[in-house]
Structures are given as C-alpha cells and as structure tokens.
Structure 1
Amino acid sequence: MQTVEEIKALLHRNKLRLMQELSQSKEAMQLIRKSTHTHLTDEEKEKIKIQLLDICKAIPALAVFLLPGGALLLPLLIKLIPDILPSAFQEDIEE
C-alpha cells in the first residue's frame, strides 16, 4: 500500500511531465504558425513531427482511461504497449 508521501511524489512528477508536454506542444504550435509565412529548417520540421506523434499517442491513452475500468486497464496496456504514452512519460516505464 502506498503512503501519502509516495502518492504526492508521483503526482508531482506527473505534473512536471504534463507541463513539459504542454511546453513542447506550445513550441510546436509556434513552429506551425511560423511555417505559414517562412520555410522551416529540417530540425524544426522534426520537432513538429515528434510533437504531433505525441499528441496522437495521448488520444488513445485518454480514451482508454475514460472507459469504465480504464484506470485499471491503462497501466496494463502501458506494460504491453509502452509507446502508447507521450515521450515525456516514457521514462516512467523503465523505473
């Protein structure tokens, strides 16, 4: 059974990872806006590609979580399909 301190630590770590994902999404949106009037470098194009893939990964994970019993099913899916989570949460699997 996890203690309150362990749960707080997990929530804090996931909050930081969520903020990282949001920051990356914001950067991707800025690059997409920039692409409407100038050409992007290969590095900028790669950043957009990675971030769009992360967004596409988050949607199925959210859908599974919202299903009845999804809170129990999602951890099992993460073990079976580690790539279902966005990149900011990937290192959590290896711990």
Structure 2
Amino acid sequence: MQTIDEIKFLLKRNKLRLHRELLQSKEAMQLIRKSTHSNLTEEEKEKIKIQLLDICKAIPALAVFLLPGGALLLPLLIKLIPDILPSAFQDDLPGDKNKKSTL
C-alpha cells in the first residue's frame, strides 16, 4: 500500500512540474512573439534565456531516455549530473517533502 502512495505522490509532483514547465514555455513564446515588434526589457530577455537553456537541457535527457535501456540509465545520469533536468523539474517545488531527484 505504501508503494502505491509513493507512486501517486511522484505522479502528482511530476504533473505539477510539467505544468510549471509548460507555463514557462508559454510565457517564453509570448515574449519571443513580442520581441518581433518591440524591444524586450532585461528581465524579459533573461526569462527567454533561461527557458531556452531549459529546452536545451531537456533534449539530451530525452535522447538518453529513448536509447535502449534509457529508462534505467536516465535516473542514474540524473544522480550524477543533476543539472541535466530543466529548472521546473529541480526539487524546489513547494510541497516537496523529500528532496530526492526522482522521476
């Protein structure tokens, strides 16, 4: 029963992380669209920079996941290189009780 509760907790936590990443991506797309007809502030430029770096981090993680055995390799890789995850998936969400990097 405890395992089912842990799985539910992890699914809920990752759902919140994915939602946060999608909101950040949406905001970045709006700022990129805005930049085509007006100048952006330094804060807006920084938001776009951070989001583009997150996208660049997600591509290698996805590539590792798609490799044969990647579902087993990715958690190990995340333990060794925690910066491979986008910022929304870092363990700083409010309500995260355990600070383990778990997918």
Q: TM-score range by the shorter chain?
A: over 0.9
Q: CA deviation at 1:28?
A: 0.1
- After TM superposition, the score normalised by the length of structure 1 is 0.93
Q: CA deviation at 1:91?
A: 1.4
Q: CA deviation at 1:89?
A: 1.0
- After TM superposition, the score normalised by the length of structure 2 is 0.86
Equivalent pairs, count: 94
**CA RMSD, 1 decimal:** 1.5
Query: Any gaps of 5 or more consecutive residues in structure 1?
Result: none
Structure 2 equivalent of residue 56 of structure 1: 56
Whole-angstrom distance in 1 between the partners of 2:39 and 2:69: 46
Query: 1:32 is matched by which residue type in structure 2?
Result: I
Whole-angstrom distance in 2 between the partners of 1:49 and 1:75: 26
Whole-angstrom distance in 2 between the partners of 1:39 and 1:55: 23
| Identical aligned residues as a percent | 85
Q: Which has the higher helix share?
A: 1
SS at match of 1:91: coil
Structure 1 equivalent of residue 84 of structure 2: 84
Structure 1 equivalent of residue 29 of structure 2: 29
Structure 2 equivalent of residue 15 of structure 1: 15
SS at match of 1:7: helix
Query: Any gaps of 5 or more consecutive residues in structure 2?
Result: 93-97
Query: 1:48 is matched by which residue type in structure 2?
Result: I
